Amino acid sequence: MKEEMFCEGVTRRDFMKACVTATAMMGLPFAMHTQVAEAVEKNANPAVIWLHFQECTGCSESLLRSSHPTIASLILDMISLDYHETLMVGAGHQAEQALHDSMKANHGKYILVVEGAIPTKQNGIFCKVSGKTALESLQHAAEGAAAIISIGTCASYGGIQAASPNPTGAVGVRDIIKDKPIINIPGCPPSPYNFLSTVLYYLTFKKLPELDALGRPKFAYGRRIHEHCERRPHFDAGRFAKAYGDPTHAQGYCLYKLGCKGPATYANCSVQRFNDVGVWPVSVGHPCIGCTEPDLLFKTAIAEKVQIHEPTPFDSYAPVDLKEKGKGPDPLTTGFVGLAAGAALGAGAMLAKKLPGDAQEGGHEKDE
Ligand code: SF4
């Protein structure tokens, strides 16, 4: 299998690099990347059936548009994608036959990937493929699945289709299927690496990774993006962008007052980022919209500020003990850490004191 993969422009170096990245993302020791790579090489391609319901296909597009190395190639070569309405060559009866054949041949073993919400009102007539409602297709395909991956916010929680007044009664997979292991990979779209890492974890350990209360893998959704955001030093120092395009925005100040949901959003966007060029919404000037959180996306206005209930310290620098002379880190690191630690300690109090107040010119808050 790997020989074929490498023939298609994905080098062994690309493959190992992706395994190292995924191993780090899963929180596994570095040395385990070889075990992950071996698991991929040993295991026969698991059958995957990928169903599309109420959605924009953005999750598939995000996966396919990745490059350097081609994450899509890696994923598509390590699984046997037996049915995917956007990618498959077959159409009509031929496509239906492929779906039927795969479900029969791999009963109890295939991975079912669902992209999009499922309408439930009026028996689900709002989304039909091949004469069957999304509800019927999901229930039928779930019967023989070993596990289900809900990719994207729509399949996880209903997404924009479930926004009030939710005319079609759209819901996520976990609202319908109750007797199968289901993993949610929310995001609009989610990082392709979160999907890749989940597949690699499943191939390596033959089980799903540890999940949080919302069914998300903890390795990818265990921390708030606010804890690793590059604008966090501005937040801690009380420097907030006041308007799009003004000097405070152009200078990269914190976007909290423009409605950034980062302090309440659990995801790894600020670490793993997108498009293989290291960007994510906050880095290009747009506040996080909380797309991985069922209570934020399409339920809270983009400009609305979130409450910060548990201020957490900045998490990008290692702690140091400055008491023991000569045993600390170099002065440059110490300077950064001191700045970050001091800022983190004062962040909660600063927020309570300053957020309601007016900002001075240039975005700095008034000291009292
Ligand atoms: Fe970054 Fe948003 Fe937190 Fe500001 S509020 S530090 S922009 S995540």
Q: What is the pLDDT of residues 176-197, one digit of tens each?
A: 999 999 999 999 999 888 888 8
Residue 330 pLDDT exceeds 50:
no
Q: Please give the Cα distance from 121 to 119 (Å, whole number).
A: 6
Residues 185 and 239 in one domain: no
In degrees and rounded to multiples of 5, residue 133 shows phi and psi of -75, 160
The CB of 235 under 6 Å from ligand 1? The reply is yes
**Which pLDDT band, with edges at 50, 70 and 90, does 203 fall under?**
confident
**Distance, CA of 30 to CA of 351 (rounded, Å):** 38
Is the pLDDT at 320 greater than 90? The verdict is no
Q: Lowest mean pLDDT of 100-104, 180-184, 198-202, 280-284, name the range.
A: 198-202
pLDDT in the model for residue 365: 45
* The ligand 1 atom nearest the CA atom of 255: 7
| Contact assessment for residue 163 and residue 299, using Cβ atoms and an 8 Å cutoff | yes
Percentage of residues of the chain with pLDDT beyond 70: 78
**Does 137 fall in a domain?**
yes
Q: Is residue 326 part of a domain?
A: no
The predicted-structure confidence for 40-90, as pLDDT tens digits, reads as follows 777 667 889 999 999 999 898 887 776 655 666 767 777 888 888 888 887
The fraction of the chain above a pLDDT of 90, given in percent, is: 45
Q: How far is CA 20 from CA 14, 28, 202, 229, in A?
A: 10, 10, 16, 23
- Position with higher pLDDT, 149 vs 338: 149
Domain co-membership, 96 together with 14: yes
Q: Which two tokens stand for residue 289?
A: 């919209």
Predicted confidence at residue 62, as pLDDT, reads 80
- The predicted pLDDT at position 69 comes to 52
Q: Which residue has the higher pLDDT, 334 or 231?
A: 231
In a domain, 325, yes or no: no
Q: What is the pLDDT of residue 259?
A: 95
Query: Is the Cβ atom of 260 under 6 angstroms away from ligand 1?
Result: yes
Detail the DSSP E strand segments found in 76-191: 80-84, 110-115, 118-119, 128-129, 132-133, 145-151, 170-171, 182-185
Mean pLDDT of the 287-299 span? 92
- The CB of 19 under 6 Å from ligand 1? The reply is no
Of 255, 257, 296, which is best to mutate to test ligand 1, by the most ligand atoms within 8 angstroms of its C-beta? Answer: 255
Of 178, 195, 220, the last residue of a domain is: 220
Task: Choose the final residue of a domain: 220, 235, 251.
Answer: 220
Q: In this predicted structure, which of 4-13, 102-111, 221-230 has the lowest mean pLDDT?
A: 4-13
Q: Does any ligand 1 atom lie closer than 6 A to the CB of residue 257?
A: no
Residue 323 within any structural domain of the chain: no
**Any idea what DSSP says for residue 83?**
E
Atom of ligand 1 nearest to the CA of 270: 8
Q: Which amino acid is at 96?
A: E
Positive or negative CA dihedral for 271, 272, 276, 279? Answer: negative
The predicted pLDDT at position 5 comes to 52
Specify the higher pLDDT residue, 350 or 64. 64
Is the domain of 119 the same as that of 227? no
Co-location of 147 and 41 in the same domain:
yes
Domain check: are 245 and 166 in the same one? no
- pLDDT for the residue numbered 324: 45
Q: What is the pLDDT of residue 310?
A: 67
Of the candidates 172, 283, 266, 304, the residue with the CA atom closest to the CA atom of residue 232 = 283
Q: What is the pLDDT of residue 339?
A: 44
Over residues 163-186, the mean pLDDT reads 96
Are residues 250 and 138 part of one domain? Answer: no
Query: Does a structural domain hold residue 322?
Result: no
- If you average pLDDT over every residue of the chain, what do you get? 80
Domain end among 220, 238, 261: 220
Q: How does pLDDT run across 120-153, given as a tens digit for each residue?
A: 999 999 999 989 999 999 999 999 999 999 999 9
pTM above 0.85, yes or no: no
Domain tally for the chain? 3
Mean pLDDT of 155-165: 95
pLDDT score of 92: 87
Residue with the smallest CA separation from ligand 1 atom 5 is: 256
Clarify whether residues 126 and 269 are in a common domain: no
Query: Are 63 and 208 in a shared domain?
Result: yes
d(CA 162, CA 118): 9
How far is it, in rounded angstroms, from Cα 307 to Cα 69? Answer: 39
> Do 130 and 18 sit in the same domain of this protein?
yes
Is residue 239 in contact with ligand 1, taking CB distance under 6 Å? no
CATH of the domain at 242: 4.10.480.10
| Cα separation values, 265 from 25, 91, 299, 315, 346, Å | 18, 39, 14, 15, 22
pLDDT confidence of 338, banded at 50, 70, 90? very low
Question: How far, in Å, is the centroid of ligand 1 from the Cα of 226?
Answer: 5
| 214 & 264 share domain | no
Cis ω before 281 (30° cut-off from 0): no
Looking at residue 271, its pLDDT comes to 86
Q: Is the CB of 255 under 6 A from ligand 1?
A: yes
Q: What is the span of the domain harbouring residue 280?
A: 223-317
